[in-house]
Structures are given as C-alpha cells and as structure tokens.
Amino acid sequence: MAFKLDGAHDAVRRAVREFGEEEIRPVAQEHDENKEYPLELRKKAAEYDFVAPSIPEEYGGAGMDPISRTIVTEELWRADPGIGSAIGSAGFGTSMILEYGDEWMKEEWLPRITAGEAASFSAISEPAHGSNVAGMETRAEKDGDEWLINGNKTWITNGTVADVGVLMAKTDPGEGHRGITAFLVPSDSDGFVPTKIDNKLGIRASDLAEIQLNDVRIPEENVIGEVNKGFYQLMEFFAAGRASVAAQAVGAAEGALDAALDYASEREQFDQKIEEFQAISHKLAEMATQVEAARSLTYRAASHVADETDDEAVKLASMAKYFASEASVDVADEAIQVHGGAGYVTDHPVERFYRDARITKIYEGTSEIQKNIISDRL
C-alpha cells in the first residue's frame, strides 16, 4: 500500500516540530534528571491542539485524522520521549469515554483535558497481571446505587497527576474476561491512593504510579458502557494503542538519528569529520533506512486502525509496534556507537534516547505478545 501525505499533514508536522525544538528540547535534560512532570508544557501544548488531538471539535479537541495524530506523537517523541510521553498521554482513556461513555462524562471531562487543565489515566495492569488482562484481581461489588472498588493497579501512566481515569475491574469474578467492567473514576475519590514510581530507566518526565483502591465508592452512573462488557470494549482500542506506540518508537529513533548525524558532522578524528569514514556513513545510512521503514509501516497501520471493520488493522498494528520498537532500540544503540565514549554519558542526548526507546518494546503488549498476535493472523 502506498500513500502520500497532503499539505495538512505537512503543516501539522511543521507545527509540532517547531514546538518540540523551541519548547521541549531546551528543557528535556533538566526534566529527565529531575524526574519532573512538565505540567506547564502540557498546558502550552494544549493551546496548539497537541493534547488528545483525536477528540472531536465539539468537545474542544482538534478532531485530527489518524495520520495527523500519528505525526503529532512521532514529533513529540522526536523532541524528547519523556516530555512527549507526558503530553501525548494526557488523554489516556478518552477513546473509551468517547465511544461508550454517557454524554455527561464527555461534556464534563473532555474539554478540560483538551484544554490542558486536566489529565486522564487508564488503569488496567496489576502487579500480577500485565499482558493477561482477563486475570485482573481488582474487584467492584454493587452496594445499593454505588460500586465499591478494591484492588491494586500498577504501571499507571499519569497515576499521580491525573484528575480522572478509566479503571477496569472484575464485576463477575467467576466469568474471566466476560466479567470485567469499565468505570470512570475521579482521582480525588476517597480510598484512591496513588504512589509515584520514580526509579524508571527512561521517560522520566512522564508520570507513572501504583494505585491502591481501598473501598473506593463510585456512583452507578459512572459505569462506562455495559456491565461485564469492559473487556470487549477495551479490545477495540488495543490496535490504535499499539499503532500509537509505534509512532512513539519512530519518534525516538528519529531523535537518536538526528543526534548521531549532528555529532558525526562535527566530530573530527585523523584530520577529518567522522561522517566521512565509510564505517560511520554506512552506519548512518542503515539507521535512516530503519527509521523510514518503521515510519512507513506505522503510517500504514494508523490508516487501517481508523476503520473498526478492517480485518487487517490488528495484524498491522502489531507488526508496526513490534518492528518500530525493535528498530528504535537498535537505532538508538547505533547512535551511541557513533558517539563513542561521548554517547555513554549525559553530555549528549543519545543516552537518553536509548533509555527512553526501550519502553516501547514492553508496554501496550511486549514484542513477544505482538509476535503471537501476528502469527495468529497469518
């Protein structure tokens, strides 16, 4: 499948790249070292419609098409994966709210998120259950016209900075994946206790938390969609999520390649720029080819996941996520090699891109899970 980006896509790329170069890159190392969430940058990004760009205009969003959204993610991560993650994840869970939430949920929360005033989370993973979503142990029991939620969620992006989120819990424990329900949970609910996870290898500017749920009471009206249908609702968005991670990986790879190209054009050895050595020039050529191949597959996947009836969407999203994440780590690794010893210290951004790229092989389904999905659909 071949496609060509139009002028609107080019305009989106120029706008996000300018924002990344002027606003993100100058403070990227500081946020990484201090593990500081970029709240003000998130608010500023919202002014340019870079926060939750998929949300329709009627709720304050930009209503961007899938390729435009992919470009936004790619360019934010190209500037810096940590800050890019913080901005790009500010609307986690909003797809579920848009598709299955009641109108009051959309009107109350989506405009606040797109304006940068609030952030959301999506709470699925648990300490003993990552890829095995159906094995979750968090319980929600009906108590009059409320639900009482108890359990423990972990690896929750925005866990300590979000204002609201989509939380998955077992409402019929004996039914496995057929007994899971999605709830809209405000983070200021009594019994909602987040603990920041700040010993991460990378994307340190992005917030991550473990969440204890101790008798959290949620009104019956906060059920998103249907009771016991949460798993099936969730499955509809996994392909889009994986395509988004592929875009993250492409962006991180591009950032690492940019740094390697800059360094190779400046660094001299044996009275010449190191880019003039064939060993280095070939390395850069291979890196650039990997980035372009990953980008092409990612854009193709993004164009397919927009159609919920597209039988190719799941396979292509997993292919893109798998290939782009593996390529991203490889490119970042080679970027360090181009720098030599200078790439192993924090004086240059490549060591940060290397640390940041590594997460893309893990979340939204590990590379091993993606290969299972791909092989099942061959």
326 Cβ contact partners less than 8 Å away, ≥ 6 residues apart: 361, 367
d(CA 97, CA 166): 8
DSSP string of 307-369? -TT-TTHHHHHHHHHHHHHHHHHHHHHHHHHHHGGGGGSTTSTHHHHHHHHGGGGTTTS-HHH
Instruction: Give bridge partners of residue 193 from the DSSP assignment.
Output: 212
Q: Take residue 347 and report the two structure tokens written for it.
A: 């004086």
d(CA 228, CA 320): 31
Which has the closest alpha carbon to 96: 239, 233, 243? 233
Known catalytic residues?
A: 364
- Specify the DSSP element, H or E, that contains 158: none
Start-to-end CA distance of the chain, whole Å, equals 18
User: Using an 8 Å Cβ cutoff, are 361 and 325 in contact?
Assistant: yes
